[in-house]
């Protein structure tokens, strides 16, 4: 028998186990259990996600930080000279500066010729609207095309719509002129 603690696992009221932490990690890796499963830990049921968080982090009790470097009180108190317990304070190193993500890059303007060719060849599917980032119009055009085809009318209505857009539309969704 191993010395490592074992835990019961529960999913939708059905219990299994007991399982060690190593077995729980293996079951997670093999997708036998997920983060939504529950584990009985200290006489209460908690999610696997919370259980793993508790297993990975040392127990720390936050304390108001004095001006200067931040500090935490560790769970294990130290004895003072008179035998009284005093909290042990451990200074946390300053968090490393995270690089800021680059500013959003300017999207290149769409090409008018590509838009027109897509409208002529695949316009009944709304492909040209997806190219110009007119997502909603593209989806509507695709749905109109599918619906008219299923009703026996073919795709002529959606294709005529695309031909009109090939001639009339000159801007992408960001209202930039297509080149």
The three-state secondary structure class of 122 is helix
Number of structural domains the chain divides into:
2
| 141 located within any domain | yes
Q: Decide which of 19, 37, 56 is a domain's last residue.
A: 56
In tens, the pLDDT along 74-88 reads 445 555 555 555 555
pLDDT of residue 120: 94
* Residue 123 · residue 163 · CB < 8 Å: yes
pLDDT of residue 168: 92
Which segment of 20-29, 97-106, 163-172 scores lowest on mean pLDDT?
A: 97-106
The two structure tokens encoding residue 141: 């055009």
Q: What is the enclosing helix (H) or strand (E) of 62?
A: strand 60-62
| 48 located within any domain | yes
DSSP-derived pairing of the beta strands 89-91 and 71-74: antiparallel
For residue 93, pLDDT over 90 is answered with no
Q: What is this structure's pTM?
A: 0.43
* DSSP 8-class letter at 86: E
For residue 113, pLDDT over 50 is answered with yes
In tens, the pLDDT along 133-168 reads 999 999 999 999 999 999 998 888 889 999 999 999
Could you give the CA distance from residue 57 to residue 143 in angstroms, rounded to a whole number?
Answer: 51
Average pLDDT value for the chain: 78
| 143 located within any domain | yes
* Residue 13 · residue 25 · CB < 8 Å: no
Could you give the CA distance from residue 179 to residue 170 in angstroms, rounded to a whole number?
Answer: 9
pLDDT grade for 71, boundaries at 50, 70 and 90: very low
| 81 located within any domain | no
Which segment of 101-115, 119-133, 161-175 scores lowest on mean pLDDT?
A: 101-115
For residue 107, count other CB atoms closer than 10 A to its CB.
11
Closest CA to 88 of 102, 78, 98, 103: 78
Could you give the CA distance from residue 178 to residue 170 in angstroms, rounded to a whole number?
Answer: 6
| 140 located within any domain | yes
The winner for highest mean pLDDT among 37-46, 91-100, 159-168 is: 159-168
| 82 located within any domain | no
Could you give the CA distance from residue 176 to residue 105 in angstroms, rounded to a whole number?
Answer: 15
Enclosing domain of residue 133: 112-168
Could you give the CA distance from residue 169 to residue 89 in angstroms, rounded to a whole number?
Answer: 66
């Amino acid at each position: 028998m191993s010395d490592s603690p074992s835990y019961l696992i529960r999913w939708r009221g059905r219990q299994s186990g007991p399982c060690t932490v190593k077995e729980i990690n293996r079951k997670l890796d093999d997708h036998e259990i997920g983060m939504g499963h529950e584990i009985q830990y200290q006489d209460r049921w908690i999610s696997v996600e919370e259980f793993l968080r508790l297993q990975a982090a040392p127990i720390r009790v936050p304390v108001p930080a004095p001006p200067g470097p931040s500090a935490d009180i560790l769970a294990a108190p130290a004895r003072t000279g008179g035998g009284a317990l005093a909290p042990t304070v451990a200074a946390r190193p300053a968090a490393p500066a995270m690089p800021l993500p680059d500013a959003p890059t300017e999207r290149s303007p769409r090409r008018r010729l590509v838009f027109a060719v897509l409208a002529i060849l695949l316009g009944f599917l709304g492909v040209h609207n997806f190219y110009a980032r007119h997502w909603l119009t593209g989806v509507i055009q695709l749905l109109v095309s599918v619906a008219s085809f299923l009703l026996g009318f073919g795709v002529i209505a959606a294709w005529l719509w695309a031909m009109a857009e090939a001639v009339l539309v000159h801007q992408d969704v960001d209202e930039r002129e297509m080149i």
